[in-house]
Structure 1
Amino acid sequence: MNEAIRAFHRIDSDPSTQRLRVAGVNAPGIMEPAGADPRLPPEPAMEAAEASTSVPSPALPQGSVSPPCALPRGRPGDGLRLIPLAGFHWGGPVRGRMAPPSPRVRGDHVLIRPVAGAISIEFPRFSHALTAGRVAFIPAGTAFSLKPPPEAEGQALLIPPGWVRGQPMPSGFRSGLPAAEDAGLLDPAILALAEGAARDPGGDGATPHQLGLIAVALSRLDDRPQPTEMQRGTLAEARPLTQRFLELARHEMGASRTIAEMARDLGCSQAQLDRACRQSRGRSALDLLYDLRLELATEALRETARPIPEIAEELGYAGLGHFMRAFLAATGRTPETYRDFMKNQHPAAPGD
């Protein structure tokens, strides 16, 4: 009996028990756990809201009118998905209260097509503004983040890499206005792909044709900023010089040549080359060089089994440590983990 009384007093003197008593919490006041989280909306309501999700019709050639259409709904686990742009959020942890999410690698290709408003795509070293009417393609394995504002309208098409096997998709980020001959074909092809995936997660017989149309349209995007009349002559000169610079840099990446040395080979000064790069691409010559080197590194890791130190040396990094630090800062992954991540992306191609 005395032992029971002593045990009771030990429990009663516990600080946690005393706090509960002061707060008026006792056994009858503790609710049983609910079967579903009461903070979440009822499941039928979620399904109804999802079923009613729609986006405005894609941008069509001037003079044509088309009513808004609901996005085709796929089955759970679909590889290819078409979702409203305002609902496509991607990225890692937020770095600050007003900062965007940190860039993070995705395993699928992303095609973004805003039809109203503007969004900002965040990459490790720069931001890219995408306005209505333009298209952006982010290849699998690219680190980026995206948080569209609620008023943004458009679509985001998520494409498994296996679906575009054999298609001439861009190997790096592309953005621009569709060519005149593609403007009327791009949006119907995007919607047809989603409708085919909704009927069959593996796509249908027309899927390769629609993907081919998208690949061709992406190869012909006009990535120049909209110029004023006074700027047209300057841009006409800047764009070829920038292209020649990138081709030279690609061929001599492992030689560790400076921007000034390559500018002399191109017959201009470093200042002229840098100005041409900013006018035609919106970025400095050094930034474009770093972007190209990262693109070549991801391509080598993704498509070859070559040793990582060999890739680092060929691309002109100061050493393996320099390569690993730069790659981690740009993608959020080390070269080895990036290679493993991309190897694990093995979705079946349509019709396989």
Structure 2
Amino acid sequence: MNEARHAPVPPDPAVARLIVAGITVGTILEPAETDPRPEAAGPPTTLTSPPPVLAVAVTGPAQAAAPLSSPPSRPLPVSRPGDGLRLIPLAGFHWGGAVRSRTAPPGPRVRGDHVLLRPTGGLATIMFPRHNHVLPAGRIAFIPAGTAFSLKPPPEVRGLALLIPPALCQGQSLPRSFSHGLPATGDAALLDASMFALASGPTHDPATACQIAQIAAVLSRLDDRPGRSDPASAGLAEARALTGRFLQLARAELPSNQTIAEMARRLGCSLAQLDRACRLNRGRSALDLLYDLRLQCATQALREGDRPVTEIAGLLGYSGLGHFMRAFLAATGRTPQAYRSLMRNTRDGPPERH
């Protein structure tokens, strides 16, 4: 009988779950009518309708051209059904691959649609495989489909992000690589009007091509200088010219896999002079620019051609297929074959609806 009295009693399942969760108080109180914390804003209010999912930061084209200081009075247009085109607040657009640690940002990853970023307050940092680009308010950035990047804007940033499926841009002269800068006089209002019109128009709207052409024209006139007030110097002009000649030579010599030192000698300068010019003009070393050029040519070959992956690796100066696949996966988050499949699917577009 004594053995039965001292036998362990099976715990209550509810109590066991509370203990596992770290809750050991004897009583769990019901929520109070008022918040007892010192910084409480006041008694809770009853919501008559569910809050909007997206916190809109722009009320229209007029306010989108300058930083906003008051809450919006109307929501963003409802996304067009079926074609993947979306206009969302910039603060709500997060993109990237695997997170390496709790404090590290997500790694770059390829997207299958074009991304147009329009910050109007604060700034956002676009992270590419080998460099970061800070995009402040007032500037515009266009990231074409197939580009590997990551983006995690801070909550306080204001502005818009427009996601455009490539199938809607056939025949349009949009930039083929990352483009950014200040819009020309009057172009900010034109861009905002086109972004809102695209997001609110019905599927297969004949005006879609006109709106995208308007965006392409605005992007073609962007001023990508660090600051319009920066004085032009002869040193910067020389650095720009030398960097341009270096990239032209590097593109032509990709199959031969020439070293940076050999190309510097052919350009009539030292390796240090070439590297200094590249950093002054592009903010990157000559080797980084060469890696970026090789990756750009690889993505273009996979996107637009049918050459075997092994042949592409040889034409671009990679030491072998394994080297190419490791470098491409590290830069884009996808293998060359997976990237080619993604680009073909996005290029073909969604099936027509009847």
One-letter code aligned to 2:15: A
Contact 1:259 1:285 in 2 (8 A): yes
- 1:54-112 deviations in whole A, cap 9, x for unaligned? 425555399xxxx9764211245441111110111111232122211122221111111
Structure 1 pair 164/119, CA: closer, same or farther in 2 (3 Å)? same
Alignment of 1:135-154 (within 5 A): 135-154=140-159
Number of aligned positions between the proteins: 313
CA RMSD after TM alignment:
3.1
More helix by share: 1
Cα offset, 1:222, TM superposition? 2.5
Cα offset, 1:180, TM superposition? 3.7
Equivalent position to 2:182, from 177, 188, 192: 177
Asked if 1:105 is matched to 2:106, the reply is: no
Distance 2:185 2:259 in 1: 39
Asked if 1:324 is matched to 2:325, the reply is: yes
| Structure 2 unmatched ranges of 5 or more | 18-46
Contact 1:253 1:314 in 2 (8 A): yes
Contact 1:122 1:144 in 2 (8 A): yes
Distance 2:10 2:237 in 1: 79
Structure 1 pair 49/181, CA: closer, same or farther in 2 (3 Å)? closer
Structure 1 pair 84/222, CA: closer, same or farther in 2 (3 Å)? same
- 1:29-66 deviations in whole A, cap 9, x for unaligned? xxxxxxxxxxxxxx9955x414873425555399xxxx
Contact 1:118 1:152 in 2 (8 A): yes
Distance 1:91 1:18 in 2: 47
- 1:96-139 deviations in whole A, cap 9, x for unaligned? 22211122221111111111111111122221111111111111
Cα offset, 1:162, TM superposition? 0.4
TM-score normalised by L of structure 2 = 0.78
Alignment of 1:49-88 (within 5 A): 49-50=52-53, 53-55=56-58, 57=60, 59-60=64-65, 70-88=75-93
- 1:195-224 deviations in whole A, cap 9, x for unaligned? 22xxx133x222112211222332332222
Structure 1 pair 317/52, CA: closer, same or farther in 2 (3 Å)? closer
Which secondary structure does the structure 2 equivalent of 1:18 belong to?
A: coil
Which secondary structure does the structure 2 equivalent of 1:306 belong to?
A: coil
TM-score normalised by L of structure 1 = 0.79
Partner of 2:294: 293
Contact 1:74 1:201 in 2 (8 A): no
Cα offset, 1:261, TM superposition? 2.1
Contact 1:118 1:132 in 2 (8 A): yes
- 1:146-175 deviations in whole A, cap 9, x for unaligned? 111111011100000101111122222222
Partner of 1:168: 173
One-letter code aligned to 1:185: L
Which secondary structure does the structure 1 equivalent of 2:134 belong to?
A: strand
Contact 2:83 2:165 in 1 (8 A): no
Alignment of 1:87-98 (within 5 A): 87-98=92-103
| Structure 1 unmatched ranges of 5 or more | 1-8, 26-42
One-letter code aligned to 1:60: A
Which secondary structure does the structure 2 equivalent of 1:309 belong to?
A: helix
Partner of 1:122: 127
Partner of 1:36: none
Partner of 2:164: 159
Cα offset, 1:282, TM superposition? 1.4
Asked if 1:223 is matched to 2:224, the reply is: yes
Contact 1:224 1:280 in 2 (8 A): no
Partner of 1:18: 10
Which secondary structure does the structure 2 equivalent of 1:49 belong to?
A: coil
Contact 2:97 2:109 in 1 (8 A): yes
Distance 1:190 1:349 in 2: 24
Distance 2:13 2:164 in 1: 57
One-letter code aligned to 1:347: G
Alignment of 1:148-297 (within 5 A): 148-180=153-185, 182-196=187-201, 200-202=202-204, 204-226=205-227, 229=230, 232-297=233-298
Distance 1:340 1:229 in 2: 44
Which secondary structure does the structure 1 equivalent of 2:10 belong to?
A: helix
